[in-house]
Chain A
Amino acid sequence: MEGIKDRIFRFLIFLCASTVILIAAGMCITLFINSLPVLKHMGVSFILSSDWDPVNNKFGILPFLVGTLITSFLSLLISLPFSISTAILLGEYLRKGRMAIFLQNIIDLMAGIPSVIYGFWGLLVLVPIVQKVEIKLNIIPYGVGIFTASIVLATMVIPYTASIAREVISLVPDDLREAGYALGATRWEVIRCIVIPHAKTGIFAGVLLAFGRAIGETMAVTMIIGNRNQIPKSIFAPANTMASAIANQFTEATSDIYVSALIGVGLVLFMVTVIINYAGRYIIKRLEIK
């Protein structure tokens, strides 16, 4: 027989769990309802049109979609060699010891630096350097733009891929490694032919999660991408990602339809990140069961 206090306690923790659901559901519904005006106004061309012209009430988010995808892909491409190397070093060569703990702590600290500080540093240190490079290459020296943003983003997502990849690499059974060594394989051959193939799904999941981070990252990108609402013509051109468009324009948006359009951008951004994250987590969960 349960006492009244037990019932109250059970009800309270149930209430907490329900609150989580309410918040998540409320978020989805709020975003959807508030972007309805622009969806009605623009129809399919909200996603397909590349014409973002708030003055004339034209809202096509294609430039932001393209900007987001290019920046995120580029940053992943830049970060991949580094994060995988770090993961191999930590998961294979340095599995214990002071050096490993030190390196892991450094990686964790990198994940802890606030986005706005990455952006600030990028703006004042990296942008002038990129500008000089651009002058040498004979292109318009904006300094800010997709390329600069991708470098900073790459620095920011390395810790995520590296930590997950490291975890997966150290999950590879030692029997397999030893079998490789017994056949006379060198360390690199064991890594390339045994460890990486065995861990590749997990590494892919780590990359997906990093991709999700890169897409949703706001402040650093906002500060160095250049804030231009057109489809970028080169990787050195200024652009806007979905997140930076919202951050740059939300407080300036005067008309209701403009606000609704930015909320619509938020809705698309939200859906994309949720789907990518879900895929990444799904893969990781399945690996753990194995």
Chain B
Amino acid sequence: MKKRLVIDKVLFSLIILFSFITIMPLFLILVYIIKEGIGIVNWNFLTGLPKPVGESGGGIFNAILGTAIICLMAFFMAVPIGVGAGIYLSEKKEGRFVELVRICIDILQSAPSIVLGIIAYLWLVKPMKAFSAFSGSVALAIMMLPVVVYNTEESLKIIPYSLREAAFALGVPYYKVILKVVIPSGLSGIITGILIGISRIAGETAPLLFTAFGSPHVNLNPLKPMASLPLLIFNYALSPYPEWIKQAWGASVILCFMIFLLNLLSRIGTKRWKVTL
């Protein structure tokens, strides 16, 4: 009798211990990044441009701007198509074509990020014969697409049908019912989905390796190579210069901060809208 109780206690402690070890890496990594990187983060670091090797100082403005531009372009590609496809799925619900769309979303969802890089390379970089920010955004948009579609569909599926019937009864045409009644009711889920999608792509490096490629200058032309934060961290991290490695830590602080902020926003969003729904 006693032995069973002891086993129970022992295993409970083990579970606590293992769970504790599980979350340790997060703190270890965050503490290390902040310890190494926070010292370098200042106004010049955020607004300056990279300096040649050997000169101290220099900033990562080009990378921050590049990440913003690339993600924004991906956003404008993935959101309309994703929301549209999500509406289609939530309206049709079944049928052969719908099944096919679902399978394709699963395929897109499970495609490794490096493969998306290859695809964007073959579709855009190779025919245009130049690395470009646009090709990187296409790769990221493909990555973001399934998240947007899935969350749109899920949040529109749970809107009660009576809501639509009420609108139809008032003689509102179909497209207006969807745009003015169904979508606003499911907006929280759609926006959350978009935010999750952006935080998924904002830290991605692999699809940009041979598409956006990186650049030490400020570049606003989407058809030319463009810097991005994750790419800069990757390149600096593997460099032999201590100055660059320090800058990579600083960039890591900024990138983590950005992604945590996006996570927080999506959480606040869900909480707030859930109340009003």
Residues of chain A at the chain B interface (Cβ within 8 Å): 2-3, 5-6, 8-10, 12-17, 19-21, 23-28, 30-31, 34, 81-83, 85-86, 88-89, 93, 103, 106-110, 112-121, 123-125, 155, 158, 162, 186-189, 212, 215-219, 223, 243, 246-247, 250-251, 262-263, 266, 269-270, 273-274, 276-278, 281
CB distance from A52 to the nearest CB of B (A): 17
Q: A93-B15, A124-B245, A189-B4 in contact; A16/B21 too (CB < 8 A)?
A: no
Q: A103-B23, A109-B26, A158-B22 in contact; A20/B108 too (CB < 8 A)?
A: yes
The answer on a CB contact under 8 Å between A114 and B119 is no
9 closest cross-chain pairs (CB), A and B = A114-B203, A16-B84, A216-B112, A277-B110, A85-B18, A9-B175, A24-B104, A186-B8, A218-B206
CB distance from B267 to the nearest CB of A (A): 8
The answer on a CB contact under 8 Å between B29 and A9 is no
Bound-state Cα–Cα, A108 to B262, Å = 12
Point out the residues of chain A lying under 8 angstroms from B202, CB to CB.
114
- The majority secondary structure among interface residues of chain B is helix
The answer on a CB contact under 8 Å between B113 and A218 is yes
Point out which of A27, A116, A273 has the most chain B C-beta atoms below 10 A from its C-beta.
A116
Bound-state Cα–Cα, A8 to B175, Å = 9
Point out the residues of chain A lying under 8 angstroms from B112, CB to CB.
215-218, 243, 269-270, 273
CB distance from B77 to the nearest CB of A (A): 10
The answer on a CB contact under 8 Å between B4 and A6 is no
The answer on a CB contact under 8 Å between B114 and A216 is yes
In the complex, whether B123 has a CB less than 8 A from a CB of chain A is yes
Instruction: Among B12, B22, B119, B233, point to the contact of A86 (Cβ < 8 A).
Output: B22
What are 29 A-B pairs at a CB distance below 8 A?
A8-B175, A9-B179, A13-B91, A16-B88, A17-B88, A17-B98, A19-B81, A24-B104, A34-B122, A85-B18, A106-B23, A113-B29, A113-B256, A114-B204, A121-B28, A155-B25, A216-B111, A216-B114, A218-B112, A243-B114, A250-B121, A263-B118, A266-B115, A266-B118, A273-B111, A274-B106, A274-B107, A274-B111, A278-B106
Q: A14-B88, A24-B104, A82-B19 in contact; A109/B263 too (CB < 8 A)?
A: yes
Bound-state Cα–Cα, A10 to B178, Å = 11
The answer on a CB contact under 8 Å between B234 and A110 is no
Q: A17-B84, A114-B259, A274-B111 in contact; A247/B26 too (CB < 8 A)?
A: no
The answer on a CB contact under 8 Å between A219 and B206 is yes
The answer on a CB contact under 8 Å between B81 and A112 is no
CB distance from A91 to the nearest CB of B (A): 11
Q: A20-B149, A25-B104, A106-B23 in contact; A112/B110 too (CB < 8 A)?
A: no
Bound-state Cα–Cα, A115 to B103, Å = 26
In the complex, whether B75 has a CB less than 8 A from a CB of chain A is no
The answer on a CB contact under 8 Å between B19 and A86 is yes
The answer on a CB contact under 8 Å between A113 and B259 is yes
User: Contacts A27-B115, A86-B23 given; 11 further ones with Cβ under 8 A?
Assistant: A5-B175, A89-B19, A110-B25, A113-B26, A113-B259, A117-B252, A121-B32, A187-B12, A247-B114, A250-B209, A270-B112
In the complex, whether B223 has a CB less than 8 A from a CB of chain A is no
Instruction: Among B23, B110, B115, B233, point to the contact of A120 (Cβ < 8 A).
Output: B233
In the complex, whether B87 has a CB less than 8 A from a CB of chain A is yes
What per-residue 1/0 map shows which CB atoms of B80-92 lie under 8 Å from chain A? 1111110111010
Bound-state Cα–Cα, A263 to B237, Å = 26
CB distance from B99 to the nearest CB of A (A): 11
The chain A residue with its CB closest to the CB of B114 is A218
Instruction: Among B16, B85, B210, B252, point to the contact of A13 (Cβ < 8 A).
Output: B85
In the complex, whether B53 has a CB less than 8 A from a CB of chain A is no
What per-residue 1/0 map shows which CB atoms of B215-235 lie under 8 Å from chain A? 000000000000000100110
Point out the residues of chain B lying under 8 angstroms from A6, CB to CB.
173-175
In the complex, whether B128 has a CB less than 8 A from a CB of chain A is no
The answer on a CB contact under 8 Å between A21 and B104 is yes
CB distance from A65 to the nearest CB of B (A): 14
What per-residue 1/0 map shows which CB atoms of B1-43 lie under 8 Å from chain A? 0001101100110111111011101101100110000000000
CB distance from B235 to the nearest CB of A (A): 10
Point out the residues of chain B lying under 8 angstroms from A3, CB to CB.
173
Point out the residues of chain A lying under 8 angstroms from B113, CB to CB.
216, 218
Point out the residues of chain B lying under 8 angstroms from A155, CB to CB.
25
Point out the residues of chain B lying under 8 angstroms from A81, CB to CB.
18
The answer on a CB contact under 8 Å between A12 and B84 is yes
